[in-house]
Structure 1
Amino acid sequence: MAASSSSACASMVKMLSPRVFINFRGDELRKNFISHLEQALEKGNIHYFIDTQVVPSEDIEILFKEIEDSKIALAVFSERYSEAKWCLNELVKIMEMVDEKKLRVIPIFFKVTVDDVKHQRGNFGINLHGNHTDRSNFPKWVKALKSVTAKMGLTSAGYGTERELIDAIVRAVEEVQAIISKEGEGTNLLSTNISSVTVSYSRDTSIGRTREQPRTDPTLYGIEQMLEQLEDKLFDFGCAESRIVGIVGMPGIGKTSLATAYYNKYNNEVVFHKNVLSIREKSKSHGTQWLKNTLLNGQDFDEKADMFSKKILCVLDDVSHKDQVNFLSTKREWINRGSKVVITTRDKSSIEELVDDIYVVPCLNDKEALQLFNSHAFNDQTTSATGTFPDLTKRFVEYAEGNPRALEELGKEICGREEAHWKERLATLPDRCNQNILIDWKISYDNLTDQQKDVFLDIACFFRSEEEDYVNCLLDGTKAVRDLTEKHLICISAGRIEMHNLMCTLGKELGSSDQNKSGERMWNPIKAIPVLCSEHVSEGTSKVRGFFLDTSRSISRGIALNEDTFSKSFDHSNLRYLKIYGSVYPQQCKVNLPEGLEFPFQEIRYLHWLTFPLKELPPDFNPNNLIDLRLPYSKIIKVWETAKDAPRLKWVDLSYSTNLVDLSALSKAKDLLRLNLEGCTKLSELPREMKYMKSLVFINLRGCVMISSLPPKLDLIFLKTLILSGCTNFNKFVLYSENLEILRLDGTAIKSLPTTIQKFKKLVLLNLKDCKKLEFLPDCLDKLKALEELILSGCAKFTRFPDIKENMENLQILLLDGTSVEEVPNILLHCAKFKDQLVYQRPFRMNEVSLLRRLCLSGNQKIRSLGSNMSQLYHLKWIDLKDCTALESISTLPPNLQCLDAHNCISLKTVASPLALLIPTTQQVPSSFIFTNCEKLEHVAKSEIICCAHNKSRLLSEALNRHNQGFASEALVATSFPGSEVPAWFSHRASGAELEPELPQHWSENGFVGIALCAIVSFNDHKTQNNKLQVKCKCVFNNVETSLSNFDCHIGGLSETSDKERPIKSSHVFIGYTNWLNIKNCLEDDSMKGYIPTKGFIKFEVTDDTKEVMNCEILRCGFSLVHESGSWEASSMKENVRQGGSILSRLVRGIKWLFNI
């Protein structure tokens, strides 16, 4: 009886408790996770409802009624949840109830992440977008998914087993039921302090309601976005996983501000929270154990420690050494689940082994930086807009490079000062650091090792923006460079070592001190000049590590140095870097050595002397440590009298040393990487020992007109670039190199290439331009599988392109202008066999076509036709046929062509129909079809050109509309050809250069996509050279009440400048199509509704891209609205197209053929 009474009581309690509605995808979870959850809910006497009690065919409204009768909803998200329309509609109803404060929702993320659901990513997103053809419900589904992820929830990733997750769900439900019950007793839910409850699984501590988050300090510019990015790395407070995240960045970037903002925003989410500031300073005073003692109050770090027995939020600011936080990594499992620990540091290596993730604080963007600077630089903000202050402000902001502390200190430094002081301070910024920044940022420098300090100062003073590999080699600094990068004193960008402007100023200021252990770095001409003047020389007193002298900034007249100037001025065992150069006039250097030069420096690694005045380097110069030798425009005849050991020498630049005749002195430099001999016009041969320089990767012999060949048996396995451009006597090319990527033989005297070039498997560029004696290329050319660019321009004797039998799968640029080839090369894919059939015997597929993007045949006098395969060059964008005087016909062009220039093809009569295959596109690049001076072009061909241009413009207009790209100031498609009449299909035509069209009613409806513009131009034998010829127009569209649009548009012209005069004969038709999205957007604006344009004013002109061309006259002009293909086909233009089906049907046929449908 007692048992029965107890059971009845439990049942009654269960029925009276707030009911839970379970929303889930049944197939995936019902027999496992959901069944276990049901058992747990039953055991906890929790009243719940799941849809297994309703047959699937029942109306969704029945389930909506069940949701309305519930007080709590569990939304269980899984990968396949988004497949079920039923589940998504339930969720929409649930969130509607939540918004009405009639329901609380607890999202459960079962083997999916919160971001997957919120942003519909991963398999969750794929299932959503791939299983619902009806898109009408998508907006409300997406809104519901984003809303529910903002609520408190649980993620399976935060729990070790499903049982632990289910227990957490039950506890969460019980706690929310308790809150609802208290609300029923009169407790206002909105005033309930839910943080006292042990629910610890969300940032939003109130289920089913929103809570206003603490606002961040509005003066912390850019902090909101940074906070969001940091929150993503720390996860929601609803996640049971503990997270330790490091905030790193250079000094002054805002690490402490960001961590404090996060702490202030979320410290009320947890029972225990602590913000520990200035750990570096306090550890310096109290030892590395200070932090541990402070956090644990003297307790051992174990599972019983008061602090870590609870879910915590802890910020540890300015950690400088890993010993300070090592205690956290040893027993990390004792940190309570759901805890968040944020550590800020300048040195990433100090926390790398401890943290789960690292957030690198970014610089402020331009707008934020300007706001921050102005807030400190101006007491009266109106002053910032007067005089030259806007320009000066911009220059200060640019120099600070988005660093908040730098912006603040520089602003404070010049606040209230006159413009003259601003200009004066700007001039000194690269040389003199702000003192407050110097004191703060120098802390990072002081914590470096001696080697790290040396590398930092060398980079700041001498080698900023140099390539990383180069600096590592020159400074022996691979590890130091890596360490400096982790300490955010330098950064690596695009393979180069970069440094913040103010960090560089700091380094230069520190480096120029004579108190440095490694010696002084002289980079300032004001300080360097006295060292060279003999009256200031005091023997052996200067311990100088580097001496850089820019003569353009310091020497107005040439100076003559004594032979012992350097040897007396600098410590022989300390000088490493010597550079004498002219930054303004790179071919002029005003330092002379009439008596010769003593150079007994043993540690010299970098010697750069522009216009070195001696015939050879000093005999006492020992190059044992020399790594980089640069003597451009020097007077040397040979480097040394005899060869010297240079075991570390890797870079040699003797370019434009026009007296150089002998290079044998470098024959022992076996590890040489780069050799630049450009412009050494008297050098007739290279040393035979070059074959032993196996490390060479770059050789530049451009303009070495006396060299006729390379040394015999030259096998340079690592060589990547060989430049022989302009070596007019070079007539025999023999080289072995498996890694060659760039070969420039343009302007040489070679007649052919050897068959051994087929071994250049990695060759990307082969330049043979203006090889006037070149007659043919070997048939093995198609073995160059990596070749992307082949240039044969100006090879007048080149008559036959080799027969291509294999796929040159990467060839993208083929320039044959000025050659004598008689037919277009066969550059389509050629496979030996494909199911016993040659490829060309069957329709091709996209992955089998050539990648050719650019083809130039201009100036060819023999080609009569382009051949039938041109349309299959799917990726071809640009065809240059200028001055192909024998060309009579053009076959169907490929679908993605952007430019066809057939200027002065005087024999051209016909073009194919269709002229080009057209397919729907996502690209919005303007296209042009130029047929100027094609006087024999037939009327049908002109109609086909117009037809092709129109259809291509329609496709591009639709692409612009789809991608919301806005108005295009350049015509989407432009074409030009000889003619004197505006085509009849233009709805508005006029004589002269001006036109005032009246627009029909409802013109913007019925598939409107853009406008067509036409101008008839009389050139009177005009000749264009150097400047581009452009036909432009100014358009104004308005109605009686207001002007709605005013814009300029290019409608055509010649594609590029030319060294030769390009005469244009007779009159020509220029037609341009452009979209009109600015008008359409205006019509959609609420404030402009009803103000539909009813008339326009259009004025045309011809310019050379700088000014109007006066001897060109606009005879007639035209304007027409352009609609979609159906409307177009109904127009009179249809009669001008050759018979054989509508434009649309030809378009469809083209697409089917192209894709082999």
Structure 2
Amino acid sequence: MASSSASSSWSWKYDVFLSFRGEDTRKKFVDHLYTALDQRLIGTYKDDITLPRGESVGPALLKAIEESNIAVVIFSKNYADSSWYLDKLVHIMKCREEMGLTVIPIFYDVDPSEVRHQKREFGEAFSKQEMKNVTKAELWRKALVAASNISGWEPKNVANGHEATVIQNIVDAISDKLLSSNSYIDEELVGMTDRVKDLISRLEIGTGGVRMVGIWGVGGGGKTTLATSVYMKINHHFQGHYVVDNIREESSKSGLKKLQENILKEVLKKEVSVQSVEQGKRMIQSRLCHSNVLIFLDDVDDPKQLEALAGSHSWFGYGSRIIITTRNEHLLQKVDYVSPVRLLSQDEGNRLFKKHAYNDKKPLKDYWELSLRVVSYADGLPLALKVLGSFLYDKDEKEWMSTLDRLKDIPESEIVEKLKISYDGLKKVEKELFLDIACFFRWRSKDEAMEIFEACGFHPDIGIKVLIQKALITINLDGYFNMHDLVQEMAHYIVRGEHPNNPEKHSRVWKDEDIKKMCIEDATTENDKIEAIRAYRSPNLLPSQFFKFVLKLKKLRWIRVTMRNDDNVEGPYFLSNELRYIDWENYPASPFPDSFQPKNLAVLKIRNSFQKELWRSHKVIQWFPNIINECIPLNIGIVL
């Protein structure tokens, strides 16, 4: 019975072992077959190339057979004219029986029946060895019969004997066999099976035309893993194929010309020199427009990259397929299908985390309970599960608990930096908009926040569209902002910056404990860092303490305050002239301070206030788009 462990993918050293009679086929059929396998990146053992110098031929070859997934046996007229080749065949068939080795016979200028019954020239060669080695003859004969009974290839009966086509067909079949027997998608890449099948269906292999498919989603969400899995599974269908790795980083380091050269060199199998990006575009189009190719463009983050590497469907030949991964959906306007990356389910997350974190030698007593906390924290993001799983692999219970507690305040830097790439690509105004949403408006209505964003000059209609396209935020069916937990943590990490324990130095403050501490300790200190603060009310903090602190923030951009009638707060001590939006219910009776000159104020809402005037100025205050006060007539828009 075949051993499953012996035939598992991680035990193979070679994909294919070639067994052949050198004098008959080495410089002809075998040479061409080996070259074709090598071009498909199929690891192939061929003794004159692979056998290490100084090693004994016998033991090395036998070991190589045992370390191979597939043995291709090329029977020729003189194959049996050597006891060594017959012994090797016996070992191959033994490995097939005991270890699950796949055997593919090729009958080159010889019929299967001649091998099976040792007839004609093949039989004559066998008879010579039989007379010299009577004791081994029966083993040889049994091996020959067993091998010739396996469905194999007869080149003279395929494609009218055209050898190049025969070899292409054989290599295609070997590639399919390797992929179907290789369980890495299920075992190594958790949750990929259904995703791979879905994406392959979207590529519509074999339907003709040229088709481009994009994979879009948050950083660390598995886009590259999915695309690579699909690429490895389908590349044998194409005349040429190439992966352009990490385009965002490589294009900045080496330039687009180098990437263009790499594509042309790999697909055309020869050195190519590109003098300019424009020349590279023309060369890709002219050289590949008649070729059936598969190109995988990984981590595209700029339209110029797509324009230089896959500018149009017309650049590629009939049947070509282009796979693109990106964090920016906007870059995929011209593709035929956009596949949003699906994060892992809880069950898939558990399996992926266990693969990286579970230590058989030092199993944790409360592993499942602790792992569920990590899986919940990662929220389906493969990157987080891999990073945290690998980190926790050799840790004990106390170290696991310490790590989980630390993650509440300090996210893992490797995860944050990966996610931060999307943030780094934003314009300044988009960064401000994103940070405000992450700190104050997650799970809040978009409509509720838009007025503030408009007042702050964030141009939110286009900015929110960009953030959605870059997979940083979503808007649910109820119109509420949302984002992945770790994306929000990344935003908080950015805001805290170099002063994680000094909230008074942050641009935004949203945590209750930070606000309380500052209101008590820094209530009388002016602050020129904080631009926005979450409204706060606590039984352990007097309203006067909160408002005294808030009214000392010199850079405050917007404020929303709801006071109770019984809040005993004397008139404001200061109001930021940077304020663009004020929504204040039950504003105290004290007038606005004379120093308050908000030249950029766009929205003013003061409900249930007894104010009879706003503030005085030596200059005319421009009319505000939105002034609401149940006690002040709405036509008040200019105060002298």
Please report the TM-score for the alignment, with normalisation by the length of structure 2: 0.61
Structure 2 counterpart of 1:322, one-letter code: P
- Work out the CA distance in 2 between the residues paired with 1:501 and 1:357: 28
**Deviation digits for residues 1033-1072 of structure 1 (CA, Å, limit 9, x no counterpart):** xxxxxxxxxxxxxxxxxxxxxxxxxxxxxxxxxxxxxxxx
Structure 2 stretches of 5 or more lacking a match?
Answer: 1-152, 265-271, 455-459, 616-621
Give the share of equivalent positions with the same residue, in percent: 26
Contact 1:512–1:522, Cα closer than 8 Å, also in 2: no
Match of 2:588 among 604, 614, 623: 614
Match of 2:360 among 380, 396, 407: 380
1:625 partner SS: coil
- Give the equivalent residue in structure 1 for 2:328: 347
Residue 542 of structure 2 corresponds to 558
C-alpha distance in 1, partners of 2:589/2:194?
62
* 2:197 corresponds to 1:228: yes
Distance 1:533 1:210 in 2: 68
* Amino acid across the alignment from 2:572: L
Q: Report the counterpart of residue 632 of structure 2 in structure 1.
A: 665
Letter of the aligned partner of 2:191 in structure 1? Answer: G
Compute the displacement of 1:333 (Å).
1.4
Q: Cα–Cα, structure 1 residues 647 and 213, in superposed 2: closer, same or farther, change >3 Å?
A: farther
- Deviation per CA, 1:612-666, whole angstroms, max 9, x where unpaired? 68357746667873648598xxxxx52523479873448x7xxxxxxxxx82226
Instruction: Name the residue aligned to 1:309.
Output: 290
Find the partner of 1:255 among 199, 203, 223.
223
How far apart are residue 303 of structure 1 and its match?
7.5
Name the aligned partner's letter for residue 199 of structure 2. Answer: L
Aligned equivalents of 1:288, 1:184: Cα separation in 2: 41
- Structure-2 change in CA distance of 1:381 and 1:639 (3 Å): farther
- 1:314: how far off? 1.2
Q: Which amino acid in structure 2 is aligned with residue 194 of structure 1?
A: N
Q: 1:400 to 1:617 in 2, by over 3 A?
A: farther
Supply the distance in 2 between the matched residues of 1:211 and 1:510 (Cα, whole angstroms): 43
- Structure 1 counterpart of 2:466: 483
Partner of 1:542: 528
CA distance in structure 2 between the partners assigned to 1:361 and 1:600 by the alignment: 46
What is the letter of the counterpart of residue 397 of structure 1? V
Task: Check whether the contact 1:271–1:312 (CA below 8 A) recurs between aligned residues.
Answer: yes
What is the alpha-carbon distance in structure 2 between the residues aligned to residue 186 and residue 324 of structure 1?
44
> Cα offset for 1:372?
1.2
Distance in 1, matches of 2:452 and 2:342, equals 30
The letter for the 2-side match of 1:379 is N
Pick the aligned partner of 1:501 from 485, 488, 497: 485
Q: CA 1:618–1:257 in structure 2 vs 1: closer, same or farther (change >3 Å)? A: same
Structure 2 residue identity aligned to 1:511: V
State the alpha-carbon separation in 1 of the partners of residues 398 and 375 from structure 2. 17
Quickly say closer, same or farther: Cα 1:185–1:565, change in 2 above 3 A: closer
Post-superposition offset of 1:530: 4.6
Deviations 1:936-993 (A, max 9, x none): xxxxxxxxxxxxxxxxxxxxxxxxxxxxxxxxxxxxxxxxxxxxxxxxxxxxxxxxxx
The answer for the alignment partner of 2:25 in structure 1 is: none
Q: Is the contact between residue 248 and residue 300 of structure 2 (CA under 8 Å) also seen in structure 1?
A: yes
Specify the SS of the correspondent of 1:471: helix
Structure with the larger strand share: 1
| Structural mapping, 1:865-944, within 5 Å | none
Q: Give the CA deviation at 1:423.
A: 4.7
The AA in structure 2 aligned to 1:373 is F
Q: Deviations over 1:595-620 (max 9, x none)?
A: 3213432343555679x683577466
> Offset of 1:537 from its aligned partner?
4.3
* Counterpart amino acid of residue 485 in structure 2: N
On the 8 A contact 1:213/1:265 being kept in 2, the answer is no
Report the Cα distance in structure 2 between the residues aligned to 1:211 and 1:220, rounded to whole angstroms: 14
SS at 1:465 equivalent: coil
**C-alpha distance in 2 between matches for 1:617 and 1:195:** 88
Paired position in structure 1 for 2:433:
455
Secondary structure of the 2:533 match is strand
- Provide the C-alpha distance between the structure 2 equivalents of 1:304 and 1:328, rounded to a whole number of angstroms: 10
Query: Could you say if the C-alpha distance between residues 534 and 458 of structure 1 is closer, same or farther in structure 2, counting changes exceeding 3 Å?
Result: same
Aligned residues of 1:221 and 1:372 also touching (Cα < 8 A): yes
Q: Please tell me whether residue 439 in structure 1 is matched to residue 407 in structure 2.
A: no
Q: Would you say 1:647 and 2:627 are equivalent positions?
A: no
Question: Do the aligned partners of residues 593 and 419 (structure 1) sit closer, same or farther apart at CA in structure 2, a change above 3 Å counting?
Answer: farther
1:1001 corresponds to: none
> Looking at both structures, which has the greater relative contact order when contacts are Cα pairs under 8 Å and sequence separation is at least 6?
2
TM normalised by structure 1 equals 0.35
Give the aligned partner of residue 332 of structure 1.
Answer: 313
The answer for unaligned runs of 5 or more in structure 1 is 1-177, 198-202, 582-586, 632-636, 653-661, 671-1157
Deviation at 1:247, TM superposition (A): 1.1
Structure 2 residue 238 is the aligned partner of structure 1 residue 280: no
Compared with structure 1, are the counterparts of its residues 570 and 557 closer, same or farther at alpha carbon in structure 2 (3 Å cutoff)? closer
Structure 1 pair 498–360 and aligned structure 2 pair: CA distance change class (3 A): same
Do 1:234 and 1:245's aligned partners in 2 also have CA atoms closer than 8 Å?
yes
Deviations 1:213-247 (A, max 9, x none): 754432211111111111122102x2211111111
Partner in structure 2 of residue 398 of structure 1: 376
Cα distance, 1:549 vs structure 2: 5.3
Deviations 1:101-152 (A, max 9, x none): xxxxxxxxxxxxxxxxxxxxxxxxxxxxxxxxxxxxxxxxxxxxxxxxxxxx
Specify whether residues 626 and 392 from structure 1 end up closer, same or farther in structure 2 by C-alpha distance, changes over 3 A only: farther
User: How many Å apart are 1:304 and its aligned residue?
Assistant: 7.2
2:263 aligned to which of 273, 292, 295: 295
- Measure, in 2, the Cα distance between the counterparts of 1:471 and 1:669: 25
SS of the aligned residue for 1:544 comes to coil
Residue 414 and residue 514 in structure 1: after superposition, are their counterparts in 2 closer, same or farther (change >3 A)? closer
After the TM superposition, which residues 182-193 of structure 1 pair with which residues of structure 2 at under 5 Å, given as runs?
Answer: 182=157, 193=168
Task: State the Cα RMSD in Å.
Answer: 4.2
Alpha carbons 1:274, 1:313 under 8 Å: kept: yes
Maintained 8 Å contact 2:553/2:575: no
- Residue matched to 2:10: none
- Rg (Cα) greater in structure: 1
Q: Following TM superposition, by how much is the alpha carbon of 1:449 offset from its aligned partner in structure 2, in angstroms?
A: 1.0
Task: Report 1:362-761 matches (<5 A).
Answer: 362-380=342-360, 383=363, 386-387=365-366, 389-419=367-397, 421-423=399-401, 425-427=403-405, 429-476=407-454, 477-494=460-477, 495-513=479-497, 520-533=507-520, 537-539=524-526, 541-548=527-534, 550-552=536-538, 556-558=540-542, 560-561=544-545, 565-567=549-551, 569-571=552-554, 574-578=555-559, 594-605=569-580, 614-615=588-589, 618=592, 625=601, 627=603, 638=609, 640-642=611-613, 647-649=624-626, 663-665=630-632, 667-668=634-635
Q: Which amino acid aligns with 2:372?
A: K
Match of residue 730 from structure 1: none
Matching residue within 319, 323, 326 for 2:304: 323
The amino acid that maps onto 2:570 is E
What does 1:88-99 correspond to in 2, within 5 Å?
Answer: none
Count of aligned pairs:
452
Name the CA distance, whole Å, in 2 between partners of 1:213 and 1:448.
44
Amino acid paired to 2:201: D
Q: Following the alignment from structure 1 to structure 2, what is the Cα–Cα distance between the partners of residues 375 and 615? A: 64
**What amino acid maps onto 1:325 in structure 2?**
L
Which whole-Å CA distance do the structure 2 matches of 1:439 and 1:398 have between them?
Answer: 20
1:327 to partner: Cα distance: 3.1
Distance 2:351 2:606 in 1: 45
- Read off the aligned partner of 1:473 and give its amino acid letter: E
Structure 1 letter corresponding to 2:202: K
Distance in 2 (CA, whole Å) between partners of 1:394 and 1:628 is 47
Distance in 1 (alpha carbons) for counterparts of 2:549 and 2:175: 76
Q: Which has more helix, going by share of residues? A: 2
